[in-house]
């Protein structure tokens, strides 16, 4: 059974946003991918269930949590009309919210930081590729070999090139193994 | 496939069915849905809300088909070029969408979502199973052969139960169906579009109404800004989609998270835990799917009538539910939550129960829906929030409420009032 309480879950998401969005805000999709990667690549339970769509792994509960964290001033979610996208960064009460999950975050800090450091600054498209490959490796029952994973990814996301997918899979596997 | 049967539905009128769909509906596992109420114990507040997953499943199939047809009519060329679909493929996918919509709720527990906290833990994921996983198991074990061997599936149609299940199973994904997954479970899905209208109709409220016809006309594939496609609406559907979101907001505040309706989820969960005591307080695992299917509303009601539901079973029978004594605003600040927690501490001696909107089924959150813009040479889309100040103003509801047993209501209220003074 998941041991994640509301406070811990919110602290963890706020920690992730602060880590990757401290100098430059990130988008809503990127926030989804970072939390997913902490869960499936870092093997740190986040308390969210992700489902795969054409745009990669996505959690509805996390989507609404971002709004709630905005109300709690843990993060800021602002809409940039010029770029037609949401921008997310740490809020004025981020540290207060993070402190409520201190014990859990400290316990898993090395795994969380390792994933976030490795992927911070990557484009949304790159994060989507990492996140989808790691989701396929972690959750889809009938994929036994690397080439099956690559084929499956290309079948559901034809926008990527095979050589890019193959190269990213090698890196994704190393992230999962470390 | 020839749609020779029809069922008259309270919301959509005649729902047409082919022989395969008709045979699935007549299977034991689908008929069970007649004995699973859509909204749990909502009839304790809105007496008309006695409808079941059976009619909802027919409704979702009907709406999903309309959405599918509309998208294919508009975006056939995009689907051909981006996903290499062809005309035969569209026919097959249409049937898969219909069957996924029809079967997506097969796994619901008695009284639907209200019993989901009593699903067992999946040892592989260390989380509770979800009703979608039960739906997948039931479809595979109970109607897989029916689909495989059906006469309508003999003309190289190649319909396989795994393709159907890939719409809602967390551990399956298929290139053929992932594009359509959003029609079954997404921001603009047929599930929501049906349940809002249906729940409003049966509850006797108007909050869930919106313009379905306009939404069907305007639904389309939108570029997601990162090289992919997602389901959204064109600009003609802007106000219809606002209507859908406002309907969700109103239904959540007035029906799904109604103060009295919500506490019955708690009483039911406690009573059900008593009824399931012999199986460690949880439902049978998906591996024992026949045992699970045997659980329906009738079985639960029979046991409650026999007095097997303990203290909370009696509360349900007598309608002597716990009473609401304090709550936060719908969108609480950190200070509101701190104040609520301090009141909860003061009331500890009454064994209070806290209910949280963020954990409610059908929670209301302001999700992103894409609107396709038409005033540029290349197709683009923007989030609905870009065009709608109404939607921009809606915030995710995160209200907390605290209830105490009926007999302690006045004393608890006194303590809260004295704190205020």
Question: What is the tens place of the pLDDT at every residue in B24-81?
Answer: 999 999 999 999 999 999 999 999 999 999 999 999 999 999 999 999 999 999 899 8
Chain A residues touching residue B82 (CB < 8 angstroms):
158
| Chain B nearest CA to A117, separation (Å) | 23
Chain A residues touching residue B179 (CB < 8 angstroms):
54
* Six token digits for residue B246: 């406002």
Q: What is the CA radius of gyration of chain A?
A: 16
Q: What is the CA radius of gyration of chain B?
A: 23
Mean pLDDT of B184-211: 96
How many helices and strands in chain B, by DSSP H and E? 18, 11
In which band, very low, low, confident or very high, does the pLDDT at A178 lie, cut at 50, 70 and 90?
low
Nearest by CB to A28, which of B185, B186, B368? B368
pLDDT at residue B421 tops 50? no
Mean pLDDT of A120-127: 92
Contact B226 A140 (CB under 8 A): no
Query: What number of other Cβ atoms are within 10 A of residue A113's Cβ?
Result: 16
Contact A68 B396 (CB under 8 A): yes
Q: Are A165 and A148 in contact (CB under 8 A)?
A: no
Mean pLDDT of B239-252: 95
* Six token digits for residue A82: 């010029």
Rounded Cα distance between A19 and A38, Å, is: 12
With both helix axes pointing from N to C terminus, report the angle between A162-177 and A102-119 in degrees, rounded to the nearest 10: 150
| Chain A nearest CA to B229, separation (Å) | 7
* pLDDT tens sequence across B349-400: 999 999 999 877 777 777 788 999 877 677 788 888 888 888 888 888 999 9
Rounded Cα distance between B165 and B162, Å, is: 5
CB-side neighbour CA atoms (13 Å) of B67: 32
Residues 350-379 of B with CB under 8 A from A: 356, 358, 363, 365-368
Under DSSP, the state recorded for B32 is: G
Write down the pLDDT at residue B367: 74
Nearest by CB to B173, which of A52, A63, A81? A52
pLDDT at residue A141 tops 50? yes
Which of A68, A86, A125 has the highest number of chain B CBs within 10 A, making it the mutation to test binding with B? A68
Residues 188-207 of B with CB under 8 A from A: none
Contact B365 A140 (CB under 8 A): no
Q: Are B218 and B236 in contact (CB under 8 A)?
A: yes
pLDDT at residue B213 tops 80? yes
Mean pLDDT across chain B = 92
ipTM: 0.86
Enumerate the β-bridge partners of residue A77.
A88
Rounded Cα distance between B24 and B187, Å, is: 28
**A130 burial via Cβ count (<10 Å: 0-12, 13-18, 19+):** buried
Residues 388-407 of B with CB under 8 A from A: 392, 395-396, 398
Contact A65 B367 (CB under 8 A): no
Contact A84 B173 (CB under 8 A): no
pLDDT at residue B278 tops 90? no
Mean pLDDT of A117-134: 94
Rounded Cα distance between B166 and B136, Å, is: 8
* pLDDT tens sequence across B397-420: 999 999 999 999 999 999 998 875
Provide the whole-model pTM: 0.93
Q: Are B321 and B270 in contact (CB under 8 A)?
A: no
Torsion of CA B180, B185, B191, B195, to 10 degrees: -160
Tell whether B280 is within 8 A of chain A (Cβ).
Answer: no
Maximum C-alpha span of chain B: 77
Residues of chain A whose C-beta is under 8 A from some C-beta in B? Answer: 1-2, 6, 28-29, 45, 49, 51-55, 60, 63-65, 67-68, 71-73, 79, 81, 84-86, 93, 96-97, 124-125, 128, 136, 139-141, 152, 155-159
Query: What number of other Cβ atoms are within 10 A of residue B393's Cβ?
Result: 9
Three-state DSSP class for B197? Answer: helix
Nearest by CB to B127, which of A2, A93, A97? A2
* Six token digits for residue B52: 């079941």
Q: Are B232 and B369 in contact (CB under 8 A)?
A: yes
Which of B176, B223, B365, B397 has the highest number of chain A CBs within 10 A, making it the mutation to test binding with A? B365
Tokens 């500890």, residue located = B348
* Six token digits for residue B283: 């439902």
Residues 295-334 of B with CB under 8 A from A: 331-334
Percent of chain B with pLDDT over 90: 75
Q: Are B116 and B109 in contact (CB under 8 A)?
A: yes
């Amino acid at each position: 059974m998941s041991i994640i309480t509301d406070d811990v879950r919110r602290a963890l998401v706020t920690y992730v946003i602060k880590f990757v969005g401290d100098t430059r805000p990130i988008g809503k999709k990127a926030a989804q991918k970072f939390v997913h990667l902490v869960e499936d690549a870092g093997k740190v339970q986040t308390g969210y269930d992700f489902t795969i769509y054409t745009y990669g792994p996505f959690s509805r509960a996390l989507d609404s949590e971002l709004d709630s964290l905005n109300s709690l001033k843990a993060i800021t979610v602002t809409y940039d009309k010029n770029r037609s996208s949401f921008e997310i960064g740490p809020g004025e009460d981020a540290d207060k919210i993070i402190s409520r999950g201190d014990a859990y975050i400290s316990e898993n800090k090395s795994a969380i930081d390792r994933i976030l450091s490795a992927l911070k600054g990557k484009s949304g498209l790159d994060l989507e590729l990492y996140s989808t490959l790691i989701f396929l490796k972690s959750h889809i029952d009938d994929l036994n070999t690397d080439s099956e994973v690559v084929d499956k990814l290309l079948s559901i996301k034809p926008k990527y090139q095979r050589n890019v997918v193959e190269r990213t899979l090698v890196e994704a596997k190393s992230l999962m193994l470390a | 496939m020839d749609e020779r049967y029809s069922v008259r539905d309270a919301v959509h009128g005649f729902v047409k069915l082919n022989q395969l769909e008709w045979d699935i509906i007549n299977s034991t596992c689908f008929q069970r849905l007649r004995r699973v109420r859509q909204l749990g114990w909502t009839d304790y507040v809105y007496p008309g809300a006695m409808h079941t997953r059976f009619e909802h499943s027919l409704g979702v199939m009907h709406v999903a088909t309309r959405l599918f047809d509309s998208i294919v009519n508009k975006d056939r060329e995009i689907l051909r070029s981006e996903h290499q679909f062809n005309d035969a493929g569209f026919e097959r996918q249409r049937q898969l969408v219909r069957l996924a919509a029809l079967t997506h709720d097969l796994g619901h527990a008695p009284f639907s979502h209200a019993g989901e906290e009593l699903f067992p833990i999946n040892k592989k994921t260390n989380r509770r199973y979800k009703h979608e996983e039960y739906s997948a198991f039931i479809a595979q074990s109970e109607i897989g052969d029916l689909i495989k061997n059906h006469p309508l599936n003999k003309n190289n149609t190649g319909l396989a139960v795994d393709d159907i299940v890939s719409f809602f199973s967390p551990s399956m994904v298929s290139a053929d169906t992932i594009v359509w997954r959003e029609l079954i479970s997404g921001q603009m899905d047929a599930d929501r579009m049906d349940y809002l209208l249906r729940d409003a109709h049966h509850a006797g409220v108007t909050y869930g109404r919106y313009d379905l016809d306009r939404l069907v006309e305007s639904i389309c594939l939108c570029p997601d800004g990162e090289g992919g496609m997602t389901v959204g609406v064109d600009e003609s559907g802007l106000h219809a989609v606002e209507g859908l979101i406002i309907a969700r907001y109103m239904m959540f505040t007035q029906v799904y998270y109604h103060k009295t309706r919500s506490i019955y989820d708690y009483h039911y969960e406690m009573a059900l835990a008593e009824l399931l005591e012999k199986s460690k307080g949880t439902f049978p695992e998906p591996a024992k799917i026949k045992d699970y299917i045997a659980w329906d509303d009738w079985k639960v009601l029979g046991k409650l009538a026999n007095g097997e539901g303990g203290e909370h079973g009696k509360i349900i029978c007598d309608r002597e539910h716990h009473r609401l004594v304090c709550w936060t605003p719908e969108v609480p600040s950190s200070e509101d939550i701190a104040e609520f927690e301090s009141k909860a501490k003061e009331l500890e001696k009454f064994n209070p129960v806290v209910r949280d909107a963020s954990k409610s089924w059908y929670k209301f959150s302001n999700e992103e829906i894409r609107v396709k813009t038409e005033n540029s040479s290349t197709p683009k889309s923007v989030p609905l929030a870009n065009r709608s100040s109404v939607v921009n103003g809606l915030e995710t509801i995160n209200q907390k409420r605290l209830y105490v047993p009926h007999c302690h209501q006045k004393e608890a209220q006194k303590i809260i009032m004295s704190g205020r003074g």
